[in-house]
Amino acid sequence: MSDNIKICPGFRFAGVHCGLKADLALDLALLLSDCPATAAAVFTENRFPAAPVVYGRRQLAAGEKIQAVLINSGNANACTGHQGIVDVATVAEVTAAALELPRAQVFISSTGVIGEPLPVTTILNGVELLTAELDEKRPEGESLARAARAIMTTDKTPKISGITVETGQGAITLTGIAKGAGMIHPNMATMLAYILTDAAVEAGIFKAMLKRVADKSFNRISVDGDMSTNDTVLALANGVSGCRLSDNADLEILENALLEMARDLAYMIVKDGEGATKVVEIAVSGAATPAAAEKICRAIANSALVKTAFFGQDANWGRIIAAVGYAGVELKPELVNISFDQVRVVSNGLRDPQYREAAGAAVLRKPEFSVKIDLQSGEDEFTILTSDLSHEYVSINADYRS
């Protein structure tokens, strides 16, 4: 973990191996606040929400503050029926007892294979290991890194971010961790993200703020066009800094900091996409409406043909213009321009007369580049981050449960 990452005061972290994964990889994480924290969350829109998502929605709808977050990898506890909800409650109750907290203040997340019963006994044994891990008082950077690794599934690297910003009330710190590499598609993904701050903020304001932030970050990424059953973004504000943010200027500072954190974590997810070798920004401008710009962005970002062309470093602009055309948006083909970075490929719906294939291919050989589509039909725009689709993606997902 980089020494430049700021770690939020008032939170402790732990990560252990409890046996959910066949190897000795860390698979159970704990995020613990020194005091009850104001909570805001955004969850999956999948119609088969996992048991911890159902449970967490109820918690936050009841206005509960959250002091502890327990996250397991290796098992999603999704499509497990009523027993799955019972299992979440059991894990929350035992975790609360171990930490001497009310059960309502323990938030549970899971990620992993869908349809398998949650190994409750294994996780409860892990809770004992976590409390012992807290007592060991590892360096906080090491503890944070262990928690970030424990929530990984097919991720290659942990995802951690942290910043300190100045408000009119003083300095506040935000720290975030996330996991996600596949089933990445808005709204959200097989993605868990936790953003912690030592600021104090009113719950309703915090909830609306997180929704706006998620819409501009986690909901603008796509690896494979699949939406998970377990997506969760949870933000906690425990107020230990003594900075209570209420005026518009300070709230704007907090929201901008949350957005910076969320975009940083979202970028890491796309960069670590299963088998990904490219990070590509799809930027649509000149649209008649925001919805039109978004539809075209998503059509391109989720096209298997476009994504395989990115992997093959094939400057096949025909696949991109086809996606623009089938996105279901009214447009004038004779006005559409397309560029790879600064290389104009299409002008007014036709191959640009100055375009040379070698120039386009040179852009696609880069690990990160942009595809820009100007519809010249209005003032609205939308951007999304996506990745390429490689042979390794197929291998990872063909063998995921083995």
Q: Which of 124, 92, 193 is nearest to 152 (CA)?
A: 193
* Of 241, 176, 239, 169, the residue nearest 210 (C-alpha): 176
Catalytically annotated residue among 111, 154, 167, 190: 190
As given in the structure block, the two tokens for residue 149 are 């690794």
Encoded tokens for 65: 């503050």
Q: Choose among 320, 226, 306, 223: nearest CA to 271.
A: 223
Full pLDDT tens readout for the chain, 402 residues: 556 799 999 999 999 999 998 888 999 999 999 999 999 999 988 888 899 999 999 999 999 999 999 999 999 999 999 999 999 999 999 999 999 999 999 999 999 888 999 999 999 999 999 999 998 888 999 999 999 999 998 788 999 999 999 999 999 999 999 998 654 444 433 689 999 999 999 999 999 999 999 999 998 887 654 456 788 999 999 999 999 999 999 999 999 999 999 999 999 988 887 668 899 999 999 999 999 999 999 999 989 899 999 999 999 999 999 999 999 999 999 999 999 999 999 999 999 999 999 999 999 999 999 999 999 999 999 999 998 887 776 665 565 444
What is the rounded CA–CA span in Å between residue 354 and residue 344?
A: 8
Largest CA distance in the chain: 71
* Residue 311 to residue 277: CA distance in whole angstroms: 7
- Whose tokens are 């901008």? That residue is 256
pTM of the model: 0.90
Q: Considering the domain 279-398 in this protein, what is its CATH number?
A: 3.10.20.340
Give burial (CB, 10 Å; 0-12/13-18/19+) of 273. buried
Residues forming beta bridges with residue 56, ordered by sequence position: none
Topology of the domain covering 11-271? L-amino peptidase D-ALA esterase/amidase (3.60.70)
Does the annotation count 289 as an active-site position? no
The CA radius of gyration of the chain, in Å to the nearest whole number, is 22
The domain spans of the chain are 11-271, 279-398
